[in-house]
Chains A and B, each alone.
Chain A
């Protein structure tokens, strides 16, 4: 019998118990599966549970560890990948009705890497249909229904890695894999009160993962701590010639054993114009700054440089998605999507021209250089993970991908997700407080492209000074 508190332990702590044979991978998988079956359906957290696969992998891990063959910190650790990565023989629905029966006869590269590390797949996490690739207007835009937030089930988890957030927050698995094209890991991480990382563009292979926008898609870990994110990234990172945008060998690797021993970032830039004014949120971030300064960090205010970051990010996604989902658009199967925007958005996006696309990409280069200069003065930047806590499902919360018809004056060109996604920067979000409604606030660290170690080290340092990440929702 595995105690519920064990299910909320970090990978670091679980791995130690497994390695020392104080915790059975089979018993751990059984406990997570039981909890996933009991709670997961209430939260619409999963697309599929992979019970047989989980037990086969857990038994194999137990045998290997008993015989002295310990593979590393993910050996015997249960997880749930977002349902857009191919898992051989199992449904891979992309969260969308037209693909409800879809199966692949191969594993995505990220799954092969996790298999090689001895991780145990509990199930595939639910998601927004097509990860919002053709647009969506609310959290119900999913084959499996709206993912409910474990902290308050009337609230959404945010998306599009909606199930991945719910799985980790509810203690249904030790970690999950999400995808992030423009904020789809960071926002669910913030709203669900977990720790999640968008790696630098090209660090993690996307071979076998559904494509929305080739020049912006990333896969990344969602877990209990920044340190856990580092452990997972060390396994899933690496050059893959099957992914055209994979970073070169050497640069793609992420060697990591521990955040401890690394010097804390001394220069931190606090972004003051990233989000619209929000006194409650600003108060929380001010508290964060006080903690970091007390620890010796030099924190200074800084501003996102001018530029159409948000428009460039959104247009890039719209145009690339019109190409990646061309078959759906031409066949008309997009009409079977749940969301009314997704049903027609592809038709409209075909009206962009090639020069529109190239102009956006020319501006993108310039914006990349502007943002990069910020890191001449700072090791990391900090900002809120989202401009709010989790929003009620019934009020049709604003999705991370901007829907059509947002009034012009409300377009925020300085949202950190748009900037870092457009420029391929690493970001890591961790919980940093709670609202009076007991909903978590998120804090994100951003760093220069390929400097993923900086965000892991900074976030791990913050978590060594606080205990927000150790708080969990009460789930009946």
Chain B
């Protein structure tokens, strides 16, 4: 948590007022709480993410760059 806060300040500290720094720290705490609950969830090696490569259609009519 402290390392993340230090990184926020390193990157963006010159843009943040004291009040915004306080809010940033509080927001990091909130994010960290959510991440902790996520990390408490048991996952197995084969549990794939809900993301994945969708094959690009070979049909030229389907291509839209």
Q: Is the Cβ of B49 less than 8 Å from the Cβ of A347? A: no
Q: Is A251 an interface residue (CB 8 A)?
A: no
Chain A nearest CB from B19 CB (Å) reads: 8
Segment 25-65 of B: residues with Cβ below 8 Å from A: 26-31, 33-35, 37-39, 41, 43, 47-51, 54, 57, 62-64
Chain A nearest CB from B57 CB (Å) reads: 8
- Residues of A near B16 (CB, < 8 A) are 344, 347
1/0 contact string of B1-43 vs chain A (CB within 8 Å): 0001001100110011001100110111111011101110101
Q: Is the Cβ of A408 less than 8 Å from the Cβ of B33? A: yes
Q: Is the Cβ of A308 less than 8 Å from the Cβ of B38? A: yes
Query: A interface, by DSSP: helix, strand, loop or mixed?
Result: helix
Q: Is A107 an interface residue (CB 8 A)?
A: no
Q: Is the Cβ of B50 less than 8 Å from the Cβ of A364? A: yes
Segment 343-358 of A: residues with Cβ below 8 Å from B: 343-345, 347-352, 356, 358
A320 vs B30: C-alpha distance when bound (angstroms): 17
- Residues of B near A308 (CB, < 8 A) are 34, 37-38, 41
Q: Is the Cβ of B47 less than 8 Å from the Cβ of A341? A: no
Q: Is the Cβ of B23 less than 8 Å from the Cβ of A311? A: no
Q: Is A290 an interface residue (CB 8 A)?
A: no
Given A340-B20, A343-B20, A361-B51, are A311 and B27 also a contact pair (CB < 8 Å)? no
Q: Is the Cβ of B38 less than 8 Å from the Cβ of A360? A: yes
Q: Is the Cβ of A215 less than 8 Å from the Cβ of B50? A: yes
Q: Is the Cβ of A348 less than 8 Å from the Cβ of B8? A: yes
Q: Is the Cβ of B30 less than 8 Å from the Cβ of A404? A: yes
Q: Select A351's contact among B7, B26, B39, beta carbons within 8 Å.
A: B7
Q: Is the Cβ of B27 less than 8 Å from the Cβ of A341? A: yes
Q: Is A406 an interface residue (CB 8 A)?
A: yes
Q: Is the Cβ of B48 less than 8 Å from the Cβ of A362? A: yes
Q: Select B23's contact among A241, A318, A340, A363, beta carbons within 8 Å.
A: A340
Q: Is the Cβ of A341 less than 8 Å from the Cβ of B23? A: yes
A111 vs B64: C-alpha distance when bound (angstroms): 19
A215 vs B52: C-alpha distance when bound (angstroms): 11
Q: Is A298 an interface residue (CB 8 A)?
A: no
Q: How many residues of A contact B (CB 8 A)?
A: 39
Chain B, Cβ-Cβ closest to A423 = B50
Q: Is the Cβ of A335 less than 8 Å from the Cβ of B15? A: yes
Q: Is the Cβ of B30 less than 8 Å from the Cβ of A215? A: no
Residue picked from A347, A352, A359, most chain B C-beta under 10 Å: A347
Chain B nearest CB from A360 CB (Å) reads: 6
A364 vs B23: C-alpha distance when bound (angstroms): 29
- Residues of B near A315 (CB, < 8 A) are 31, 34-35, 38
Chain A nearest CB from B49 CB (Å) reads: 3
Q: Is the Cβ of A344 less than 8 Å from the Cβ of B43? A: no
Residue picked from B8, B28, B50, B57, most chain A C-beta under 10 Å: B50
Chain A nearest CB from B5 CB (Å) reads: 8
Q: Is the Cβ of A404 less than 8 Å from the Cβ of B64? A: no
Q: Is the Cβ of A404 less than 8 Å from the Cβ of B43? A: no
Q: Is the Cβ of B47 less than 8 Å from the Cβ of A366? A: yes
- Residues of B near A340 (CB, < 8 A) are 19-20, 23
Q: Is A405 an interface residue (CB 8 A)?
A: yes
Q: Select A344's contact among B4, B20, B50, B62, beta carbons within 8 Å.
A: B20
Chain A nearest CB from B46 CB (Å) reads: 10
Given contacts A340-B19, A404-B29, 5 further A-B contacts (CB under 8 A): A335-B15, A348-B28, A359-B39, A366-B43, A404-B27
Would you list 24 pairs from A and B whose C-beta atoms are within 8 A, ordered by A residue? A215-B51, A241-B57, A311-B34, A311-B37, A312-B38, A315-B34, A340-B20, A344-B27, A345-B27, A347-B11, A347-B12, A348-B28, A350-B8, A351-B31, A356-B35, A358-B51, A359-B38, A362-B43, A362-B49, A364-B50, A366-B47, A404-B26, A404-B27, A406-B30
Interface residues of B (CB under 8 A from A): 4, 7-8, 11-12, 15-16, 19-20, 23-24, 26-31, 33-35, 37-39, 41, 43, 47-51, 54, 57, 62-64
The 9 closest A-B pairs by CB, nearest first: A361-B49, A404-B27, A351-B4, A364-B50, A404-B30, A311-B34, A361-B50, A362-B47, A347-B12
